[in-house]
Amino acid sequence: MPKKDIHPTWYPEAKVICNGEVVMTTGSTQPEIQVDVWSGNHPFFTGTQKILDTEGRVDRFMRKYGMASSDSSEQKDKSSEEKKES
């Protein structure tokens, strides 16, 4: 048994609200929880996530560990040769 008068009030049916709409209920020390993002509208969970390859990090990783496809290495070789000729 928990000690009396030292624990916050527990709300077993606390409402989680996103964009003015109740999206789920959970247990919490607050009766209502306002959130901006939840699994129902987050790009990772909805399948709309786009992975951005800034500065060629994926290509650099692939070259470093020898996983680069021959097509990408040939294209880079051609572009480096063109730069040398100009």
What 54-57 contacts at long range (C-beta under 8 Å, 24+ apart), as own/partner pairs, is none
Q: Is the pTM of this model over 0.95?
A: no
Percent of the chain with pLDDT over 70: 73
- Which CATH number applies to 1-49? 4.10.80.400
The stretches of the chain forming alpha helices (DSSP H) are 43-46, 57-64, 70-85
For residue 16, pLDDT beyond 90: yes
Average pLDDT score over the chain: 79
* Domain residue spans of the chain: 1-49, 51-81
Please list, in sequence order, all residues whose beta carbon lies within 8 angstroms of the beta carbon of residue 83, skipping any fewer than 6 positions away.
none
Residue 37, SS3 per DSSP: coil
Q: How many residues belong to the chain?
A: 86
Type of residue numbered 83: K
For residue 85, pLDDT beyond 90: no
Cβ(26)–Cβ(35) below 8 Å: no
